[in-house]
């Protein structure tokens, strides 16, 4: 059996982090077994579709390094891969279930359904459709259809017993059939519902493994009943616990949580994002954290996916991104970081700009951060924060250090890093100070920051005249 997984997003905007995490698991599982990764667009909810969203999906998967084996742009005989282009297929299978007695036409109006909901609310019970249309005779159904009455097709659910969901992560789960609603399969506009389209498409596209959120575990019982009604083999399920935001709530683009493209535009590298998200809810057999895509595929083990929810942590994502920035060559880094660097560099040489950007390579967590880190290289007067002022006032020697260094700087005729380092060493010898009492006063007064790249490199880029002015 060739493993076939599918990623089936809705075209409703940028891909959010939780959704991408599921795609990563599906991709790693397929590639681990030399299988196929299929892209399917689930656009049954036409009202929520966002123009250009399909292009966003392709762009995201391409940036993440995913090879799409089949999809709307790469039909391998299982298409169409966009659900709105498969309406006739869903209609055929819905009518087949009606013929088998596993589904029925429902002609209830919105007013009737609202009345049922109100009665359920009054009894403090969840709303379940009462199945009244399932009791219509064939003659009554034909009469309504011939009259052009609006209808949906509902799945006929068993009302007693249990349905078993067999899951890689959670094992065998028993779902009480009494809580299963007679769900709508085909809507009045001819479009299928999400659940029905998934089952039809997964079967026809020969999907072997389905990875989806744990919150849909109850819905999977309905899937299984559909597979049984058709006499089809069920796929292998893996339900993954949700990714929580830093506030403890479920990550969602509706709640304004960051999407992949938000992170990408901020200067997070796609490989770092994929690496970080792959470890949200999955753990390798070793303590290794930084993986190439090939290493992720080789080490991925679906049985090690956690049952517990994982929490999105921006600090940890920054750490991963920092590791990937460090792995870049200087040339790769400069080509990348210049896309985010927006400072006005008129009057500065290309060599000066490159050196400035390079000295921050070891200090950078994400692309847009470069503008804040380099701010004081582009202003005349710097403002010290309270922590910096407190340090300068913590020991009388700090003023002696900056005064002595100013005198040493004034003696320099050739402004380069070697001579700047020599000037710092002269202060060390003259005053007998070292460590942070030597370096930090000079850095604070000259650059405005308490921490940063190599001090000599920083001072060289600020320039001799500016350094002297700030030391006064």
Closest CA to 34 of 11, 3, 10: 3
Instruction: From the candidates 59, 91, 156, 253, give the one annotated as an active-site residue.
Output: 253
> Which superfamily does 4-83+243-311 belong to?
HUPs (3.40.50.620)
H or E element that contains 155? strand 152-155
* CA angle at 199 for the pair 194 and 205, rounded to the nearest 5°: 115
For the chain, give the percent of residues with pLDDT over 90.
85
- How does residue 38 score in pLDDT terms, banded at 50, 70 and 90? very high
Distance CA 81, CA 431 (A): 75
Long-range contacts of 449-456 (CB under 8 A, 24+ apart): 449/376, 449/388, 450/387, 450/388, 450/391, 452/363, 452/373, 453/359, 453/360, 453/362, 453/363, 454/359, 454/417, 455/420, 455/424, 456/417, 456/418, 456/420, 456/421, 456/424
Can you state the angle between helices 417-431 and 436-447, rounded to 10 degrees? 130
What average pLDDT does this structure show over 38-55? 84
Distance CA 119, CA 395 (A): 76
Domain residue extents for the chain: 4-83+243-311, 86-240, 328-377, 386-471
CA torsion through residues 446, 448, 452, 457, sign:
negative
The count of C-alpha atoms lying within 13 angstroms of the C-alpha of 228, restricted to the half-sphere facing its C-beta, is 14
Distance CA 129, CA 4 (A): 35
Say if residue 138 is exposed, middle or buried (CB neighbours under 10 Å; 0-12, 13-18, 19+): exposed
What average pLDDT does this structure show over 30-46? 92
Q: Left, alpha or beta for 77 (phi > 0: left; psi -120 to 50: alpha)?
A: left
pTM value > 0.75: yes
CATH fold for the domain made of 386-471: Arc Repressor Mutant, subunit A (1.10.10)
Average pLDDT taken over every residue of the chain:
93
What average pLDDT does this structure show over 183-200? 94
**Which 8-state DSSP code applies to residue 234?**
P
The predicted-structure confidence for 335-347, as pLDDT tens digits, reads as follows 999 999 999 999 9
The predicted-structure confidence for 229-253, as pLDDT tens digits, reads as follows 999 999 999 999 999 888 777 776 5
What average pLDDT does this structure show over 316-321? 97
- How does residue 209 score in pLDDT terms, banded at 50, 70 and 90? very high
Same fold, 86-240 and 386-471: no
Where is pLDDT greater, at 46 or 126?
126
Closest CA to 420 of 394, 455, 444: 455
Closest CA to 3 of 184, 168, 128: 168
DSSP helix/strand/coil, 41:
strand
Q: Is 253 a residue of the active site?
A: yes
- Of 3.40.50.620, 3.40.50.2300, 3.40.50.720, 3.30.230.10, which CATH number belongs to 86-240? 3.40.50.620
Q: Range with the lowest mean pLDDT among 141-150, 238-247, 253-262, 378-387?
A: 253-262
């Amino acid at each position: 059996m060739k493993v076939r997984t599918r990623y089936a997003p809705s075209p409703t905007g940028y891909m959010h982090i939780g959704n991408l995490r599921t795609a990563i698991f599906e991709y790693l599982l397929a590639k681990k077994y030399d299988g196929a990764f299929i892209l399917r667009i689930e656009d049954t909810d036409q009202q929520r579709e966002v123009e250009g969203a399909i292009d966003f999906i392709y762009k995201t998967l391409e940036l993440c390094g995913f090879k799409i084996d089949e999809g709307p742009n790469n039909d391998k005989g299982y298409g169409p891969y966009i659900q709105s282009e498969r309406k006739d297929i869903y209609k055929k299978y819905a009518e087949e279930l009606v013929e088998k007695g596993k589904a029925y036409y429902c002609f209830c109006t919105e007013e009737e359904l609202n009345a049922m909901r109100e009665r359920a609310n009054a009894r403090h019970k969840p709303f379940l459709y009462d199945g009244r249309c399932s009791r219509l005779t064939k003659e009554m159904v034909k009469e309504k259809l011939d009259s052009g009455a609006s209808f949906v097709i509902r799945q006929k659910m068993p009302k007693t017993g249990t349905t078993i969901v067999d899951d890689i992560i959670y094992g065998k789960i028993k779902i009480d059939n009494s809580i299963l609603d007679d769900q709508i399969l085909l809507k009045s506009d001819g479009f299928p519902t999400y659940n029905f389209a998934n089952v039809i498409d997964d079967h026809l596209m020969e999907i072997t493994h389905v990875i989806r959120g744990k919150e849909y575990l109850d819905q999977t019982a309905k899937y299984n009943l559909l597979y049984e009604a058709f006499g089809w083999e069920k796929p292998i399920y893996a339900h993954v616990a949700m990714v929580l935001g830093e506030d403890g709530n479920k990550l969602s683009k509706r709640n304004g949580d960051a999407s992949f493209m938000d992170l990408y535009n901020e200067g997070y590298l796609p490989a770092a994002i994929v690496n970080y998200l792959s470890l949200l809810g999955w753990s390798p057999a070793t303590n290794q954290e930084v993986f190439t895509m090939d290493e992720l595929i080789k080490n991925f083990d679906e049985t090690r996916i956690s049952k517990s929810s994982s929490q999105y942590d921006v600090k940890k994502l920054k750490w991963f991104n920092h590791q990937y920035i460090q792995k870049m060559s200087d040339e790769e880094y400069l080509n990348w970081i210049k896309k985010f660097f927006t400072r006005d560099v008129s009057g500065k040489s290309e060599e000066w700009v490159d050196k400035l950007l390079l000295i921050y390579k070891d200090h950078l967590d994400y692309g847009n951060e470069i503008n804040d880190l380099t701010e004081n290289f582009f202003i005349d007067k710097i403002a010290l924060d309270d922590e910096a002022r407190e340090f300068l006032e913590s020991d009388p020697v700090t003023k002696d250090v900056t005064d002595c260094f100013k005198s040493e700087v004034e003696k320099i005729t050739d402004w380069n890093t070697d001579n700047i380092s020599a000037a710092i060493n002269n202060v060390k010898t003259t005053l007998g100070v070292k460590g942070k009492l030597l370096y930090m006063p000079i850095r604070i007064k000259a650059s405005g920051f308490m921490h940063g790249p190599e001090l000599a490199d920083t001072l060289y880029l600020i320039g001799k005249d500016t350094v002297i002015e700030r030391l006064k």
